[in-house]
Amino acid sequence: MPAILLSTLNARYFHSAFGLRYLFANLGKLQADAAIREFIITQRPLDIAEALLAEQSRIIGFGVYIWNVAETAQVVALLKKVRPELIIVLGGPEVSHEWQEQPIAQLADYLITGQADFAFAQLCQRLLNDDPPAEKIIAAEPPPLDQLALPYRFYSDEDIAHRLIYVEASRGCPFKCEFCLSALDQTAWPFPLESFLAELQRLYQRGVRHFKFVDRTFNLNAKIGARILDFFLERLDEQLFLHFELIPDHLPELLKTRIVQFPPGTLQFEIGVQTFNPTVQALISRKQDNAKTEENLHWLRQNTHTHLHADLIVGLPSEDLSSFAEGFNRLIALNPHEIQVGILKRLRGAPIARHTAIFDLRYNPQPPYNLLCSKQLDFATLRRLERFARYWDLIGNSGRFHHSRPLLLGDDPFGRFLMFSDWLFAATGQTHQFALERLFDLLYRALTEALGVAEPIARDSLTEDYRQSGGKGRPAFLQPKLPPKTPERTAETILTPARQARHRC
């Protein structure tokens, strides 16, 4: 029975808890008496508590995030009710700031704010030595990266076979975008490159082919980025897939010469555009060269096989509907493969809070703390835009509507898709659980009834999209329309006056 358990509730089974593995790697001698236990948020809190209590541990540390704080609070409450003497330690971004307002923090024995890689081990050592700290809140300083034990050997064979494998070449971010917790960082710190590449090699030898880099600014240091890309170029195979997050306006030639060498299906770049409005950018301390951003996105789309995932945020301070619409249309013109439309969230500790009163920003008090309304966007408009974002992900980002998407968007992509979104919600009252055939039928109706597309053109484009999607059914729009059935003319109907026939029933 391990004395120390490291646990969290992941959003999905295929996610892996990167932070827990860092904590485990840096436990030192305590590793022999510790274990990682991961769950998912769809499991019942009572079942999770039962599994944890069965291990009879003395200390349980939980990683708490915006997506699991509510469920984790239920688990912690159950644990403390059954075994009050069990020591609960919390850490993670959701409890590192404004923790005084968090019910889960009141239930815990200790709370570590910041990067707990070393602080958790130090706390556990004291607790197991019966030397508990008097203070409940422990503020952890960022650890020197060259002193950290790296976590990669603690990915199990099952993780490698079934879960995302996260890696990081650096921590922190030098930029101060106020909607992001990374705005609190002083700068970005790289890990020692040679030891990091050695870890990548070990993962590759174990069969890892999907690497998700969590660096906030992978392309910040072009020389390091180039070395990492070279590592993978030397190991290309048909299963390799790499995900990086990029600064949109910084793409040096040193990186370009590597990026063009990757074949289709290998690279994915997540590019945070967020807004094209210079006034909004200045207000939230975001430094972004919009012309360079457009130039880089255009170059990537035209000259590489990279899958481009670009982000926009709805509801940033001072950005109204027309400004967001202009930014959306500007991004659509650059033709990234996906546009992730996200509603502004007020992350605990993020500097965006300083604009709350001035712009009357009102957020959901429950996770994920999404914006409900503001001076520029009322509640009804925000709800429309939430549906817009959902339907865009369902249709615009799906890759299923290559031929019909241009008909849907026309020469005003935002305006027409918002019109479609309003129509779809009015027709169905749903934002989820659309069967594929029904979705095609609804899009056919929207194109012909609401957006003025000629019926033969809509039918032909959707037919080709459905064929390419691999669908095996026969949506209603593909079924031949039969002429109305003509009633048989009998002697009785011929002789009965029309006015009397209407009243025969």
Give tens-digit pLDDT for 97-150: 999 989 999 999 999 999 999 999 999 999 999 999 999 999 999 999 999 999
Answer yes or no: is pLDDT of 349 > 90.
yes
CB 83 within 8 A of CB 64: no
Please compute the mean of the pLDDT values over residues 175-186 and round it to a whole number. Answer: 92
Using 50, 70 and 90 to split pLDDT, how confident is the model at 492? very low
Does position 480 have pLDDT exceeding 80, yes or no? no
pLDDT digits (tens, 9 = 90+) for 415-453: 999 999 999 999 999 999 999 999 999 999 999 999 999
pTM: 0.91
Mean pLDDT value across residues 176-203: 94
Q: Once rounded to an integer, what is the mean pLDDT over residues 245-272?
A: 97
What's the pLDDT band for 479 if we cut at 50, 70, 90? Answer: confident
What is the pLDDT, as a whole number, of residue 482? Answer: 46
Residue 481 is predicted with a pLDDT of: 61
The percent of residues in the chain predicted with pLDDT above 90, rounded, is: 92
What are the structural domain ranges in the chain?
A: 4-143, 164-377, 403-477
Which CATH fold topology does 164-377 show? pyruvate-formate lyase- activating enzyme (3.80.30)
CA distance 315 to 325: 12
What is the rounded average pLDDT of the residues 301-325? 98
Hey, what CATH class is 4-143 in? alpha beta
What phi and psi values does residue 498 have, to the nearest 5 degrees?
-60, -40
Angstrom distance (rounded) from CA 262 to CA 236: 8
In CATH terms, are 4-143 and 164-377 the same topology? no
Confidence of residue 489 (pLDDT cuts 50, 70, 90): very low
Residue among 294, 225, 309, 230 at smallest CA distance from 262? 230
Residue 505, pLDDT above cutoff 60: no
Euclidean distance between the first and the last CA atom of the chain, given in angstroms as a whole number = 80
Taking the C-alpha atoms of residue 215 and residue 213, their distance in angstroms, rounded to an integer, is 6
pLDDT given for residue 484 in this prediction? 55
Kindly tell me if the per-residue pLDDT of 386 is higher than 60.
yes
Confidence of residue 486 (pLDDT cuts 50, 70, 90): low
